Amino acid sequence: MLAKLRREWPLPRVYATVLVVVFTGFAVVPLAWMLSSSIKNQADVFQLPIRWVPPKPAWFTYVEALGRYNFARYISNSLFVSAAITAISVLFSSLAGYGLAKYRFPGRDLLFLLVLATMMLPLEVILVPMFLITKQLRWLNTYQGLIVPMAVEAFGIFLMRQYVLGIPDTLIEAARIDGASEIAIFARVILPLCRPVLATLAIFSFRESWDLFMWPLIILTKDNLKTLPLGIALFENAYQSAYNELMAVAAVSLIPVTLLFFLFQRAFVQGIALTGLKE
């Protein structure tokens, strides 16, 4: 029936294609302007009409921008913090998601609702309590202060729980009959079946931690611990902003996330497609 309607009414498909092209343009045009501005002189960045390809690309802008501050340190800090947050998030979110999906215990559904409720709290609401706790633990200006408070999010637990719900209980029962321990079941049965959603969660976690700005800004004062977003902010001040250099560093900051997405693209799409909203 649906196929017949599609043959008789091709216009909805045309409209959908046009909408996809329009929204893709909204996403791509700012990126194209950023890349174009990164190889221009400062005076040509806001030139109208926009010259997308300058006659003499200023490639030296990248060298000057990355050499102006300690960006090698900032990038290495961001890579370390993002990788640590991603690893912890994937491990603990998968454990919590598996427990909430396959174990029955009093208050399980209430606990899951409480986890979901935390998704409605923006970072600004819990920023002060988090800062006070971090200060009491003497984690200011430390890597653990950057990593631990941001390590596990409710979204990751929700994503893993919804995916694990689709795994048949018979596989778990068969492993228990064979004498496998609960840890062995999780490591040898659940995790291999969850590879697509684990890749999806890893991409989301890495992107979120890579873009962290507010939390590092609050707890860090030492320059050697600053992350890349804090380094990018150094290009803007009250007197003058080097927008071409700012765009160059922003373009460099896209490389790790873009590479991660292309490496796990197939698993990412599969994870999104297979993660349902089951109850």
pLDDT score recorded for residue 279: 43
The average confidence (pLDDT) of the chain is 82
Bigger pLDDT: 219 vs 271: 219
What is the chain's alpha carbon radius of gyration, rounded to the nearest angstrom? 23
CA angle in degrees (0–180, nearest 5) for 262-197-80: 60
Q: What is the pTM of this model?
A: 0.81
Q: What is the mean pLDDT of residues 202-214?
A: 88
Contacts of residues 260-269 at CB distance under 8 Å and 24 or more positions apart, as own/partner, are 260/202, 260/203, 260/206, 260/207, 261/203, 264/199, 264/200, 264/202, 264/203, 267/195, 267/196, 267/198, 267/199, 267/200, 268/196, 268/199, 268/200, 268/203
pLDDT digits (tens, 9 = 90+) for 61-88: 788 777 778 888 898 999 999 999 999 9
| Token pair listed for 177 | 């009959």
Bigger pLDDT: 43 vs 198: 198
Bigger pLDDT: 135 vs 20: 135
pLDDT score recorded for residue 84: 94
Q: Quickly list DSSP for 130-179.
A: HHHHHHHTT-TTSHHHHHGGGS--HHHHHHHHHHHTTS-HHHHHHHHHTT
pLDDT score recorded for residue 87: 93
pLDDT digits (tens, 9 = 90+) for 141-196: 999 999 998 888 888 899 889 888 888 888 888 888 888 888 998 888 888 888 88
CA dist 267 and 93 (Å) reads 18
Of the listed ranges 67-81, 207-221, 251-265, the one predicted with least confidence: 251-265
CA dist 185 and 113 (Å) reads 26
User: Looking at the predicted structure, is the pLDDT value of residue 242 above 80?
Assistant: no
pLDDT score recorded for residue 277: 41
CATH second-level architecture of 68-274? Orthogonal Bundle (1.10)
Residue that is written with structure tokens 């598996």 in the block: 98
Provide φ and ψ at 29, rounded to 5°. -60, -45
Highest mean pLDDT among 37-51, 113-127, 232-246: 113-127
pLDDT score recorded for residue 124: 81
How far from 218 is each of 96, 152, 213, 268, CA to CA, in Å?
A: 29, 19, 9, 33
C-alpha torsion 209→211→213→214, nearest 10: -60
